[in-house]
Structure 1
Amino acid sequence: MKLKVLSLVAFLAAGMGSAYAAEGELSIGTEGAYPPWSMADAAGNVTGFDADVGNLLCAKLEVKCKFVVQAFDGLIPALKAKRFDVIISGMSITEDRKKEISFSNGYAELANMFVAPKSSDLAGIHDFDTLIKALDGKKVGVQAGTTHAHYLEKNAPKADLKTYDTLDQMQIDLASGRIDTAFSDASALEDFLAKPDGKDFQLVDVKIASSSDATLGEGIGVGIAQENTELKAKIDKALCELVNDGSIAKASETWFKTDISRPCK
């Protein structure tokens, strides 16, 4: 195994110039505060779907994994500053982000939804147009720097958008009534509903697929520095194998109770 790692490092060193090439280790930037995608404990240990994908990828590439916890809106600047080699943090592939970094092929996709108090007028809505109209004047929580924030800026301009650094901060304000609703991927909201603070809330019965709007992206991908073309090619190949052999599906079943893997291109 050690000889294989050294061989891979030698092969990639000329084109990559990264910590991965220098150390035989793939350093992965991830948020660490977005269950069930990425959770970090006090010691910095990372678990969740993102961690499973990262570990599967490292095993395919025959390198060691090193996770680096970073606030979501700082992930792309940190990647460009070479603080780590790749981003694996439930990050959607969007045209705006592709101007700054490269992405692997998309490997996962999940529906986006709103959560609101059961007593709210939003709770009984079942169609998209009615929901968007009902957001006028409502305080809507989103995580800063996400596709969810960009989507609402474009599609619900009359909503009073409140941005948060972390999911936990948004959920605290939701539970305390400081915001009327929150918009995120369905898995993150279901995690909130499973907590005591979420007992008086429900998902609004309107699912918004990522494919329905360009601002929501082209699925979830691994973020890679634009100059690391060798690494991108290897990650694309490895991810395709992991999708096709069912490894990504198995990991998603563990964390989401459903298969969110995206077919390999």
Structure 2
Amino acid sequence: MKFGILTLGAILLSLANSAIAAEGKLSIGTEGAYPPWSMADSAGNVTGFDADVGNLLCKKLNVECHFVVQAFDGLIPALKAKRFDVIISGMSITADRKKEINFSVGYAELANMFVVPKSSDIAGLREVEPLLRDLDSKTIGVQTGTTHAHFVEKRLPNSTLKTYDTLDNMQIDLVSGRVDAAFADASALQDFLGKPEGKDFQFVDVKIQSKFDASLGEGIGVGISKDNTELKTKVDKALCDLVADGSIGKASMKWFKMDISRPCE
């Protein structure tokens, strides 16, 4: 029996997409340096909210989890190169990223905030527009490849943008005074404020939700290769179930002391 080219191609694609189920393993790319989302120790063990979501997803799909630690700005290229099956790394769903990969449904969302020295002239602001106006002359630190970097580029064109490979390096420059403000999701910066080196800093009490600007994305999703539609369908259903039964909300309460789960629409 002979197969036509299109038929053979469809069969090969189907086999590739079902390889995870056949092997019983899901390989997950994550940053490992973005507490409390994702932390990796020297042995490569991953903990945090992303790890909990990954483990919940694997259990739901009845597969074994395998985490691969990768710098955040290298996650999408590594996924496209088939180094792992999915990305679970607090990654916001954005239009630019959707050009490169597919995403699951959004399963979580957390406000974005600026941290500044308590002595800063913008520390007491309470409204977003005055805050952005005053920040537009400042030096602002963000992590490389994040929605926060895109937001600053778009909304604060006159600011000086400094990018960092990890939050730790960004926070070192914040403490040393090399940046005037740091911008990230509130949970990641809360971790910094709880440390001794964060005692002289505070949040600017303005929470910037993703709906404020499209550059901040459409919530947090699982990154999936464009050619793996079968896996996307399975992941979408599993995540919706995990949000509906409270599992993801429970995990977020553990790590963030708040429910950041996002119901499926």
TM-score above 0.5, yes or no: yes
Counterpart-to-counterpart distance in 2, 1:196 and 1:71 = 26
Residues 90-239 of structure 1 correspond to what in structure 2 (within 5 A)? Answer: 90-239=90-239
Counterpart-to-counterpart distance in 2, 1:64 and 1:185 = 30
**Counterpart AA for 1:151:** F
Partner of 2:35 in structure 1?
35
* Maintained 8 Å contact 2:17/2:230: no
Q: CA deviation at 1:211?
A: 1.6
Partner of 1:261 in structure 2?
261
Counterpart-to-counterpart distance in 1, 2:18 and 2:112 = 34
Three-state SS of the structure 2 residue aligned to 1:261 is coil
Three-state SS of the structure 2 residue aligned to 1:248 is helix
**Counterpart AA for 1:60:** K
**Counterpart AA for 2:191:** D
Partner of 1:80 in structure 2?
80
Root-mean-square deviation (CA, aligned residues, Å) is: 1.4
Tell me the alpha carbon deviations over residues 229-265 of structure 1, each in whole angstroms, 9 at most, x when there is no partner: 0000000000010000000000000000000000112
* Maintained 8 Å contact 1:19/1:84: no
**Counterpart AA for 1:80:** K
Unaligned 5+ segments in structure 2 are: 1-11
Tell me the alpha carbon deviations over residues 194-237 of structure 1, each in whole angstroms, 9 at most, x when there is no partner: 00110000000111001211111110000000000000000000
Counterpart-to-counterpart distance in 2, 1:15 and 1:109 = 34
User: How many aligned positions are there?
Assistant: 254
* Maintained 8 Å contact 2:18/2:230: no
**Counterpart AA for 2:158:** K
Tell me the alpha carbon deviations over residues 179-208 of structure 1, each in whole angstroms, 9 at most, x when there is no partner: 111000000110000001100000001110
Runs of 4+ in 1 over 6 A off after TM superposition: none
Partner of 1:5 in structure 2?
none
* Maintained 8 Å contact 1:19/1:27: no
Three-state SS of the structure 2 residue aligned to 1:91 is coil
Q: CA deviation at 1:13?
A: 8.1
Counterpart-to-counterpart distance in 2, 1:70 and 1:113 = 25
Q: CA deviation at 1:16?
A: 3.2
Q: CA deviation at 1:166?
A: 0.5
Counterpart-to-counterpart distance in 1, 2:207 and 2:55 = 30
TM-score (norm 2): 0.93
TM-score (norm 1): 0.93
Counterpart-to-counterpart distance in 2, 1:197 and 1:20 = 44
Tell me the alpha carbon deviations over residues 142-191 of structure 1, each in whole angstroms, 9 at most, x when there is no partner: 00100000011000101100000111100111111111110000001100
Three-state SS of the structure 2 residue aligned to 1:178 is coil
Tell me the alpha carbon deviations over residues 49-75 of structure 1, each in whole angstroms, 9 at most, x when there is no partner: 000000000000000000000000000
* Maintained 8 Å contact 1:33/1:40: yes
Q: Is 16-25 or 188-197 further displaced after alignment?
A: 16-25
Counterpart-to-counterpart distance in 2, 1:87 and 1:65 = 12
Q: CA deviation at 1:124?
A: 1.2
Residues 45-84 of structure 1 correspond to what in structure 2 (within 5 A)? Answer: 45-84=45-84
Counterpart-to-counterpart distance in 1, 2:230 and 2:27 = 16
Counterpart-to-counterpart distance in 1, 2:248 and 2:185 = 18
Q: CA deviation at 1:19?
A: 6.0
Q: CA deviation at 1:100?
A: 0.5
Three-state SS of the structure 2 residue aligned to 1:68 is strand
Counterpart-to-counterpart distance in 1, 2:96 and 2:233 = 21
Q: CA deviation at 1:137?
A: 2.4
**Counterpart AA for 1:58:** C
Counterpart-to-counterpart distance in 2, 1:64 and 1:183 = 35
